[in-house]
């Protein structure tokens, strides 16, 4: 199984969207400063996660979210106002 996740840093008031097969390990790397974008802070917290059957599905959803280029869209996802089922994501 694969996960799409959104993490947030309160220190820098930013979100990061990613996908992974091992969410615990991935979050550890973000907090440890081992990732280029997220090394700006160490207080990253998971604010959203959704499981998918395949890496392809998770990557498509991650790309869809990132293409929106919108903090407001991300906050709607977190609030449960956006449906991220793979069959409705434009391909």
Q: What is the pLDDT of residue 34?
A: 87
Q: How many domains does the chain have?
A: 1
| C-alpha neighbours within 13 Å on the C-beta side of residue 73 | 12
How many Å apart are CA 76 and CA 1, to the nearest integer? 24
Whether the pLDDT of residue 90 is over 70: the answer is no
Q: What is the extent of the structural domain holding 18?
A: 2-88
What average pLDDT does this structure show over 14-22?
A: 97
Name the burial class of residue 47, with classes exposed (0-12), middle (13-18) and buried (19+) by CB atoms within 10 angstroms of its CB: middle
- Domain holding 16: CATH number? 3.40.1440.10
pLDDT tens-digit readout, 25-52 = 999 999 998 889 999 999 999 999 999 9
């Amino acid at each position: 199984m694969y996960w799409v996740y959104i993490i947030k840093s309160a220190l820098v008031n930013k979100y990061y969207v990613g996908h992974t097969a091992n969410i615990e390990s991935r979050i550890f790397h973000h907090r440890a400063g081992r990732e280029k974008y997220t090394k700006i802070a160490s207080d990253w917290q998971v604010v959203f996660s959704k499981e998918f059957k395949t890496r392809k599905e998770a990557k498509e959803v991650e790309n869809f979210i990132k293409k929106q280029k919108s903090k407001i869209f991300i906050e709607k996802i977190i609030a449960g106002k956006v449906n991220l089922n793979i069959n409705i994501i434009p391909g």
